[in-house]
Amino acid sequence: MSRILVTGSSGLLGRHVAASLMEQGHDVTGLDVSAPPEGACWSHVAGEAGELAVVAQLAKGMDALVHIAAVPRPTGRAATDVFRINMAAMYAAVEAARLCDVERFVYASSFSVLGFPFYETPVVPAYLPVDEAHPIGAQDVYATTKWLGEELVETMVRRNAFSAVSLRMPWIQTPDTFHAAIGPRRLHADAARDLWAYIDVRDAAAAFVAAVERPVTGHARLFISAADSYMDRASADLVAQAYADTPIRKPMDDYAALIDTSAAQALLKFAPRYSWRDYPV
């Protein structure tokens, strides 16, 4: 059993991560400005993730810090607020982990570091499926904070403060959210901005548990996603229409995802179990 601090523990991803860690026998403390969901089984502290004194106090004696708290998209908030909130929380998390000798840091990064899906200048993948070697292409403020967050983690790893895993995720979904959120988007060309990618929140939570538990040295930046796309058209057809000139590095069978998760599979034994195709309608 490990003692683990989870920031943003009341949000969609955070609550699933906290619950999954508890199910695996870990002792979890959650930090969030919002109350936890009804029936939450972890300890909850109401507070701002951007307050270093608060995070450092909670990080004392922790074995791992899982940092999820953030403004989750660039829309609906002023860009200055997105940058200020996300970067303040990021700094507080890594500095608290360093000050308190936390051994493992796990960061909720984003697929958006590649530039998708919020770009203003069109982004064309250098190749497909994308993987960790793909060039970074952040344009919007949210994606930029996620990239800078990874770089803050990297600075602490260089100082031997902790080992770390940054998980780059596409659109997080549940059986309850998928059809309302993604159903309308399928009808528009803008779906290509997502590379038609998603991940079930339960698979995302399992990846976070593995990122806490598996042996890791240095800083691993890893993509995770569902095994399939969110479309009901073959992936090869989607790519031929939207990204006809993009080189294809691996075969795309049927509805295969366009995010390569081989690195996460190798290091974390990550294997997505859930698909929207099994969700109730």
Burial class (CB in 10 A: 0-12, 13-18, 19+), 191: buried
Share of residues in the chain with pLDDT > 70 (%)? 100
199 pLDDT exceeds 90? Answer: yes
Q: Name the band, by pLDDT with cuts 50, 70 and 90, for residue 42.
A: very high
Task: Round to whole Å and give the CA distance between 261 and 270.
Answer: 8
Q: Exposed e or buried b for every residue in 4-36, given b needs 16+ CB within 10 A?
A: bbbbbbbbbbbbbbbbbbbebebebbbbbeeeb
Place of tokens 């989607």: 238
82 pLDDT exceeds 90? Answer: yes
Task: Round to whole Å and give the CA distance between 32 and 14.
Answer: 9
Q: Name the band, by pLDDT with cuts 50, 70 and 90, for residue 281.
A: confident
- The residue ranges of every structural domain in the chain are 3-278
pLDDT of residue 135: 98
Q: For residue 184, what are the contacts with CB-CB under 8 A and spacing of at least 6? A: none
Q: What is the pLDDT averaged over residues 59-87?
A: 97
Question: What is the rounded average pLDDT for all residues in the chain?
Answer: 97
200 pLDDT exceeds 90? Answer: yes
Taking only the tens place, the pLDDT of each residue in 169-183 is: 999 999 999 999 999
Angle at 253 between CA 251 and CA 255, to 5 degrees: 130
Task: Round to whole Å and give the CA distance between 271 and 211.
Answer: 13
- Name the residue among 225, 209, 217 with its Cα closest to residue 257: 225
Taking only the tens place, the pLDDT of each residue in 113-160 is: 999 999 999 999 999 999 999 999 999 999 999 999 999 999 999 999
- Name the residue among 104, 116, 119 with its Cα closest to residue 66: 104
Q: Name the band, by pLDDT with cuts 50, 70 and 90, for residue 163.
A: very high
Cβ-based neighbour number of residue 113 at 10 Å: 25
Taking only the tens place, the pLDDT of each residue in 210-244 is: 999 999 999 999 999 999 999 999 999 999 999 99
Asked whether the beta carbons of 230 and 186 are under 8 A apart, the reply is yes
1 pLDDT exceeds 90? Answer: no
CA 200, 204, 205, 210 dihedral sign is positive
> Is the domain 3-278 a CATH 3.50.30.60 member?
no
